[in-house]
Amino acid sequence: MAANTKIASAVQILCVIAYKGSGGTTAEAIARSLDTNPVVVRRMMKDLQRASLVEIRPGKDGGVQLRREPDAITLEDIHEAVEGHASVFALRPGGNPKCPVNGHMKSALPSIFHAVDEAVAMRLRQTTLASLSRPIA
Amino acid sequence: MAANTKIASAVQILCVIAYKGSGGTTAEAIARSLDTNPVVVRRMMKDLQRASLVEIRPGKDGGVQLRREPDAITLEDIHEAVEGHASVFALRPGGNPKCPVNGHMKSALPSIFHAVDEAVAMRLRQTTLASLSRPIA
């Protein structure tokens, strides 16, 4: 499967905001760090705003700032903001409804896949934005 | 991100083989369980063979059988067979080489993403093929 770079982008966006301090920053400045288009940054900032991680001030003197302290934002929060409750693994749809193996897959795999997602969430929860942004000189 | 159904397909293939017992079965019979084309099954069986999970006997009386007991095959083995050492998350390539935040992402995120993959592997290791195939009547 293609590994997902969305969380890395979102973490970098939030680290730039944390690095810039309480005055906040702009989508343009963040885009220079990621070397991408500000449109890409703004799209992702909307997801982060929806999850109450950032506050976007519109207008000429607008910008973006964190809504919580960096030590109150975990990678799990960031992951959920940009991916929702996405699963790592999923059942394959369809299959032969008359086959007992196929039926058993549909009943047995979901709890295993859910436990995998829980393991991922638990690991992400152990890292805060502060631990990533603090060491940046 | 689009959740990955490849492991579900591989688990189902191996469960059909386990269910059929020591005599083994054929790609055609497996394809009937998955309701898919035998070509799809054969392609995945090659990955499973490369990982020493199945033995494919070619020819007219050919077929496929497990190379290990179902209780000696874990979901981690199956995942590795079909995905290699794929990561759930990845760094975003590029970024501004002069930005300290961008530089820090490249040094700090890999160990976190590696720990996530380890958490997934550890969870998958807790489930054997036997625990999935045994309850099938």
Q: What is the mean pLDDT of residues B121-126?
A: 97
User: Do the bridges between strand B63-66 and strand B54-57 make them parallel or antiparallel, or are there none, so unpaired?
Assistant: antiparallel
Q: Choose the closest CB to B94 out of A35, A94, A119.
A: A35
- Hey, is the C-beta of A22 within 8 angstroms of any chain B C-beta? no
ipTM: 0.93
Contact across the interface for A3 and B101, Cβ inside 8 Å: no
Instruction: Evaluate if pTM is beyond 0.90.
Output: yes
Residue A78 in tokens: 């960031």
pLDDT band at B26 (very low <50, low <70, confident <90, very high): very high
Of B33, B83, B137, the CB nearest to A96: B33
- Segment A32-53 shows an average pLDDT of 96
pLDDT, one tens digit per residue, over B85-118 is 889 999 999 999 999 999 999 999 999 999 999 9
Check CB contact under 8 Å for A5 and B105: no
Tens of pLDDT, residue by residue over B32-87, are 999 999 999 999 999 999 999 999 998 888 899 999 999 999 999 999 999 998 89
B72 at interface of A, judged by CB pairs closer than 8 A: no
Cα–Cα separations (whole angstroms), residue B137 to A94, A96, A135, B20, B132: 21, 16, 57, 11, 11
Judge: B34–A89 Cβ closer than 8 Å, yes or no.
no
At B2 the pLDDT is 64
In B24-99, which residue ranges form alpha helices assigned H by DSSP?
Answer: 27-34, 38-50, 75-83
Using a CB–CB cutoff of 8 Å, tell me whether B37 touches chain A: no
Domains belonging to chain B, first-starting first, are: 6-133 (1.10.10.10)
- Return d(Cα B66, Cα B8) in angstroms, integer: 17
Q: How many helices (H) and strands (E) does chain B have?
A: 6, 2
Q: Is the pLDDT of residue A104 over 70?
A: yes
- Closest CB from A75, A89, A99 relative to B33: A99
Residue B99 to residue A137, Cβ atoms within 8 A: no
A1 has pLDDT over 70:
no
